[in-house]
Chains A and B, each alone.
Chain A
Amino acid sequence: MFQRLPDAGDLAVAITIDGKPVKARAGDTVAAALFAAGIDHCRTTPVSGTPRAPYCMMGVCFECLVTIDGVGNRQACLVPVQEGMSVETQRGKREIGR
């Protein structure tokens, strides 16, 4: 559970998370935007189906995998948000062709 500091700047970038409109700050990574939006977990694992959330925020742990603009298993902590971006949380194994 994270919140922005009061003077953190404008939330000017409109994205959707699981179809829901969310405002993010230019410069946010998708993972940061997920935290700011109060998302509890971003995926369930392909092995046991347990929930996971971003863990390292620097591209090494691969816990923050989400579907971005229709492409699955992208590292949310390495992708900056962009206007109109569609982010989807994932369930288990990635669907082929997504």
Chain B
Amino acid sequence: MSAVNEVRDSYDVAVVGAGPAGLTAATACAAAGLATVLFDEQPAPGGQIYRAITQTPVQRASILGNDYWYGARLVRDFQASRAQYVPGATVWSLSREREIGVSTGGAARLTQAKRVIIATGALERPFPIPGWTLPGVMTAGAGQILLKSGAMVPQGRTLLAGCGPLLWLLAWQYLNAGVKIDAILDTTARASRSAAWPHAPAFLFSPYFRKGLRLMLSVRRRTKVIAGVTGLRAEGNSRLQQVAYRTADGAEIRLPADTLLLHQGVVPNVNLAMSVGIEHRWDDDQLCWVPVVDGYGGTSVDGVAIAGDGAGIAGAWAAEERGKLAALAAIRALKPDTRQDILPDEANIRLALAKVERGRLFLDRYYQPAASFRIPRGDTIVCRCEEVTAQQIIDTVALGCTGPNQMKSFLRCGMGPCQGRLCGLTVTELMAQTRGVPPAEIGHYRLRPPVKPITLGELAALPKDEAAIKAVVRG
């Protein structure tokens, strides 16, 4: 394990995140001879999509599928490169001057990079239904991580609920592993399906089309899928006992359950990018904040690029190409005389990117979660850390709060350790709906370092200049 004292004072390029985008970015930068470091919070490379690819205990390759094992190649290329790899490392701050605060093994230090490539990927969209904080309820992504990294699968009565490709992929993997799924509660909204239809022709040419179709048919053959689900609730006394929902024809159903796995798509993990002040915009198709980036992932902050799903959801294959593009821009800026044959081939990359991004809008629209699953009301908890309900947030709008920051100071909503990751989007949309204005006008929490907790002891041990000491120590 790499200790914090192996982190150098400065690098040409620092990459944050070892998913497909981070891996290809770091590999390409190192190949061009740039002093490159890759910081990753996980103990092993792969990100979430290729989680535990080098050490998964899942023996039968057919369980996880070929698209998972494909990731091994990216890791091999990276490991063969001269990039420094620092696993188990949490990047908790990034300044406009590209000073990076990183912690590993219980110690923190600062390092400086000429270019930073943020490849922190995606996280699952909040799914704030009644009872979503009960033990027994978790995200589908969490279920998949347990499978990939620990060969662990749910036992007992298992329900999957929501919409989006990951939900179907997990169901397929579970069924391959012999897991009994009691039912899939499909919340895909009728309105979303119709809105997607005009984009279907483009999607026919997407590499995801045939794969997705085959996977869905395979799942439908092997387990019960209940479509048109609304009014989803997790119920139980101190742990999940049953799941309640309404069917398309209005019937109220209750199913006993031990495990409920929720999923309604993924959204960019924006905390680090927002904390450094990178400009973001509200995306009306993906219903989330997306950083404003150029064709190479370059952002409004000089020298800081974003690659992969963190720059807008496009999937693992696109992430791989976008990582190379961010690397290309870094190499051109720092080592303009690099030989063509060492540089990533931009034409090829753009071709590959166009292919995998084809029909993306169809997926975005088709799996756009219904408003009732994004914008809760009443006693449903929005902020899991501080246990703030939807109604409390609505009430602050009546008190004159126009956005999340005034609201946050009134309710502590978003002030807990997750720093708004599990409530931010819900808050923006909830306040937008309550005020009757677009989400873009509401805005997001103002985020500041540390974007992940570090201990006071770690913070205290960092270097300080005279000015800093003088600003604090006084009579």
Name A residues whose Cβ lies closer than 8 Å to a Cβ of B: 1-5, 7-9, 25, 27-29, 32, 35-36, 40-41, 45, 47-48, 50-63, 65, 73, 77-78, 80
Q: List 10 A-B contacts (CB under 8 A).
A: A1-B155, A1-B259, A47-B387, A52-B135, A56-B123, A57-B138, A57-B146, A60-B123, A60-B418, A73-B417
How distant is A74 from chain B, measured CB to nearest CB, in Å?
A: 10
| B258 at interface, CB cutoff 8 A | yes
| B43 at interface, CB cutoff 8 A | yes
- With contact pairs A47-B386, A60-B418 given, residues A5 and B152 touching in the complex (Cβ less than 8 Å): yes
Give me 17 other A-B pairs in contact (C-beta within 8 A), A3-B154, A3-B155, A54-B142 excluded: A1-B155, A5-B57, A7-B59, A8-B58, A29-B150, A32-B149, A41-B135, A50-B133, A55-B138, A55-B139, A56-B124, A56-B138, A56-B141, A57-B145, A57-B146, A60-B421, A78-B90
Interface size class of B (residues with CB under 8 A): 35 or more
B149 x A29 contact (CB < 8 A):
yes
CA–CA, A29 and B137, complex, Å: 19
CA–CA, A2 and B174, complex, Å: 12
Chain B residue at minimal CB-CB distance from A29? B149
How distant is B105 from chain A, measured CB to nearest CB, in Å?
A: 11
A27 x B57 contact (CB < 8 A):
yes
| B62 at interface, CB cutoff 8 A | no
B309 / chain A contacts, CB cutoff of 8 Å: none
How distant is A36 from chain B, measured CB to nearest CB, in Å?
A: 6
CA–CA, A36 and B147, complex, Å: 12
B42 / chain A contacts, CB cutoff of 8 Å: 59, 78
A55 / chain B contacts, CB cutoff of 8 Å: 133, 137-139, 142, 384
Which residue of B152, B239, B269 contacts A2 across the interface (Cβ within 8 Å)? B152
A58 x B52 contact (CB < 8 A):
no
Which residue of B43, B152, B416 contacts A35 across the interface (Cβ within 8 Å)? B152
Chain B residue at minimal CB-CB distance from A28? B150
B387 x A45 contact (CB < 8 A):
yes
Name B residues whose Cβ lies closer than 8 Å to a Cβ of A: 41-43, 48, 52, 55, 57-60, 88, 90, 123-124, 133, 135-139, 141-142, 145-146, 149-156, 177, 238-239, 258-259, 269, 384-387, 416-418, 421-422, 452-453
B151 x A8 contact (CB < 8 A):
yes
- With contact pairs A9-B151, A41-B239 given, residues A56 and B52 touching in the complex (Cβ less than 8 Å): no
A48 / chain B contacts, CB cutoff of 8 Å: 387
A5 x B177 contact (CB < 8 A):
yes
CA–CA, A45 and B453, complex, Å: 17
B155 x A32 contact (CB < 8 A):
no
B135 x A53 contact (CB < 8 A):
yes
How distant is B215 from chain A, measured CB to nearest CB, in Å?
A: 20
A54 x B138 contact (CB < 8 A):
yes
A36 x B150 contact (CB < 8 A):
yes
B52 / chain A contacts, CB cutoff of 8 Å: 27
B177 / chain A contacts, CB cutoff of 8 Å: 5
How distant is B126 from chain A, measured CB to nearest CB, in Å?
A: 10
